[in-house]
Structure 1
Amino acid sequence: MNKNQYNVSEKLFELNEFSKKTRQYLHKIPELSGQEVKTSQYCHDLMTQFGYATKTYEGYTGFIADLIVDPAKPLIAFRADMDALAMPDMTNNEYSSIHEGCAHNCGHDTHMAIALTAANYLSKHRDEMHANVRFIFQMAEEDMRVPGEDKMVELGCVEGVSEIYALHNCGALETGYISFNAGVVSSWGSSWILDVYGVSAHSSTPQKGLDAIRETCRIIDYMDYIVAKKTDPFSPAVFSCGMIKGGTIPNAVADHVQACGTIRAMDQETDQILKSSFQEIIARSEAGGFKTTITYDSYPAVENHPKSHQRILEAAAQFLPIEHIESNSHPITGSEDFSYMINATRDRIGAMFSSAVAIKPKE
């Protein structure tokens, strides 16, 4: 960090080395969704050292940490997700992942380091605080199949919270920029699992069977048509199939196929159009003699509250040149479970913003 480039106080700049070392250590110990044991313990130990009152949840890695300066003041929360991805780490440096096949390729190590640095700073300057603060260290943001933000909300992580904030790093913007908007930030997102059951037969007599592979392909192809012809072109929608598994031997008609993918939409109406159309297509398969099941795991859209949007804008303006602040950015078709936490606050006041992390190549 170049403190002369941004309006950063000397006291905050003193934590620059702490922030860097923290991020590097967390990058070395990535853990998958719901398995963030080392990560959670490391963050918990630091928050305890900073003087925060922590609360853990039995059987889960997520926890909260509170700094209460005056019970009469509002409680503001900040979410940091902890999990990593099942991918190789290609950084090849002294702080590369020590867990083979697992890496912080989505940058949650950065999210935690920022939260821990902010928590460290606030603990040293609590006499200057105008609100109480809660840091929420969330498990399992990446994998919809693992209890994550929805479970933490159920366990009470946002009880008493007046406003809540979160960030996500953005590799498309050069360091020193911030991006956010008022309104929808990310899509309604659902992961789906479709099972199609047919009838097996020898490949020499396919008429005696019901080909689950061919039927699954028909369903998926038709969903692309639905996106093109049944949704509003001014309301983006995305249907994707990322995995198909079926058949056991090459010379037999497959009697079972499982396909998995995602549905994304920028509003709830479009989300429902996609899901109801999916169901209609599947019903035709049932009429043809196939048996089917489909399950969804869904995230609501993240929607920034105008009050929170203004707070971020005012805070960013204290540190960044106005030309580095994108306060009316386009929403993304990616999905985020942070929506659960915003929606669980008393007045749904909260926001998510993007913090740039790209490094400009040296000329």
Structure 2
Amino acid sequence: MSCLSKSIMVSSPSHAATTIRPDIQHLDLVSWRRHLHQYPELGFKEHLTAEFVAQRLTEWGIEHQTAIAETGIMATIIGEQPGPVLAIRADMDALPIQEENTVSYRSRHDGVMHACGHDGHTAIALGTARYLSQHRQDFAGTVKIIFQPAEESPGGAKPMIEAGVLQNPQVDAIIGLHLWNNLPLGTVGIKSGPLMAAVDLFECKIQGKGGHGAMPHQTTDAVVISAQIVNALQAIVARHVNPLNSAVVTIGQLHAGTASNVIADSSFMSGTVRYFDPELAHLIEPRMQDILTGICQSWGATYDLNYWRLYPPVINDAAISDLIRSVSTEVIETPTGVVPNCQTMGGEDMSFFLQEVPGCYFFLGSANADRGLAYPHHHPQFDFDETALAMGVEIFVRCVEKFCDPNP
């Protein structure tokens, strides 16, 4: 069953059967989330967000480090007995989007909005820290809670890793979640292996020769050349990628020309490449170079390609995925609660953490169409059912208790 399959929709998501302990239900998760939602900040500028997180951790007496990779924070909670080290990661940044919701907690920062649920991720991580700090007797070892900046771009995971958040003590495994409006409240999407795609980006300038629109024989038309390139790039996936694999080549921008009767001298295009199989990193870019070279040479044009790899694919460890799956079936007690084989071509820099230590990133269903809370991520009216916040804390806490079991 795919995570996009309509068959998993529950008839009444607001009544999803869940098991959440009272101490978690009584946390101020909604209040924290709504405060964060009102003061969204872009990547590496999460100063107010970091201050809010640090203040809560200080009030609760939780050891923490600040200013990691500029605005990142790491809280450390030690159980009453020695044991393994589990990390929990939450991202804090928002998006450059003007919010169109009319809720009381709408963004107060013009042109910036939490349109992807990171305010919820931060609230869930805070709630997990608060609960664990009050129940240290229930787990052995150490829990590191990583509040990460700049997931949306340019990426805060790698700088935090370079700053040593996985060291001293060495992290044995890492988990994280994404509130997911592609799934209804009361579901969890989990998959071993590739969950989210690699994110490559590219920009390309085509240089031709402009001229009069009535005299094309005197020109090298950058528009015609670009049209052929756009079509040819689609053949990379169609004819070079194994059809049992998944890949996408998308042209997101194409700009050329200044007037209707002027043949463009040059054009500019940019786009993204997505794939699950890391080996495709060695196939798609060279094929793109071949296509650009061949078409441009045949027309007497030149090109300048800038291609870079932003995030690798998110690849989950099988054993940690099984841990999340078993915990989720305990927390969400509906037959359709755990959705297997959930995947998306979206990308995430959680992938850098998963390259360093085994772990699992999973989706927590947060849509509730009955309440109008089903807009997609990155939409100016995005919002989610806040009931999911307590579910997220419960799942994290149970993962800690199982992974760091003081009485195995």
> TM-score higher than 0.5 here?
yes
1:158 to 2:166 alignment? yes
Q: Partners in 2 of 1:304 and 1:355 — Cα distance?
A: 15
User: How far, CA to CA, are the matches of 1:114 and 1:58 in structure 2?
Assistant: 20
Alignment check: 8 A CA contact 1:286 1:292 kept: no
How many Å apart are 1:248 and its aligned residue? 4.6
> What is the correspondence of 1:342-361 to structure 2 with a 5 Å cutoff?
342-345=354-357, 349-361=358-370
Identity percentage of aligned residues:
28
Q: Which has the higher contact order (CA 8 A, sep 6+)?
A: 2
> Which residue pairs with 2:351 in the alignment?
339
Q: Is contact 2:207-2:301 (8 Å) kept? A: no
- Aligned residue number for residue 116 of structure 1: 126
What is the CA–CA distance in structure 1 between the aligned matches of 2:71 and 2:256, rounded to whole Å?
Answer: 35
Per-residue CA deviations over 1:125-171 (Å, capped at 9, x if unaligned) read 1222223111111111112xx24222222222222111101101111
Q: Please list every run of 5 or more consecutive structure 1 residues that lacks an aligned counterpart in the other structure.
A: none
Residues 248-257 or 276-285, more deviating: 248-257
Distance apart, 1:3 and its partner CA: 10
> Structure 2 residue aligned with 1:325, among 337, 351, 358?
337
Give, as a single letter, the amino acid of the residue that structure 1 aligns with 2:162.
E
**SS at structure 2 position matched to 1:60:** coil
Question: What TM-score, normalized to structure 1?
Answer: 0.89
Do 1:29 and 1:38's aligned partners in 2 also have CA atoms closer than 8 Å? yes
Residue 21 of structure 2 aligns with which residue? 9
Deviations 1:27-67 (A, max 9, x none): 11112222222122212222232222222346622222211
Deviation larger for 334-343 or 52-61:
52-61
Unmatched runs of 5 consecutive residues or more in structure 2:
1-12, 372-408
Do the aligned residues in 1 keep the contact of 2:95 with 2:114 (CA within 8 Å)?
yes
Aligned match of 1:245? 255
Aligned letter for 2:353? M
Residue 254 of structure 1 pairs with residue 264 of structure 2: yes
For the residue of structure 2 that corresponds to 1:33, the secondary structure is: coil
Q: Is residue 253–residue 270 contact of structure 2 (8 Å, CA) maintained in 1?
A: yes
The TM-score, its normalising length taken from structure 2, stands at: 0.80
Higher alpha-carbon deviation: 172-181 or 90-99: 172-181
Counterparts of 2:47 and 2:345 in 1: how far apart (Å)? 31
Secondary structure in 2 aligned to 1:106? coil
What do you get for the CA RMSD once the two structures are aligned?
2.4
Q: How does 1:110-259 map to 2 (within 5 A)?
A: 110-143=120-153, 146-159=154-167, 160-248=170-258, 250-259=260-269
Quick one: which of 270, 290, 312 aligns to 2:324?
312
Distance 1:256 1:308, change over 3 A: same
Q: Is 1:283 equivalent to 2:293 in the alignment?
A: yes
Q: Which amino acid aligns with 1:303?
A: I
Cα distance in structure 2, aligned partners of 1:300 and 1:179: 20
Q: 2:84 matched to 1:61?
A: no
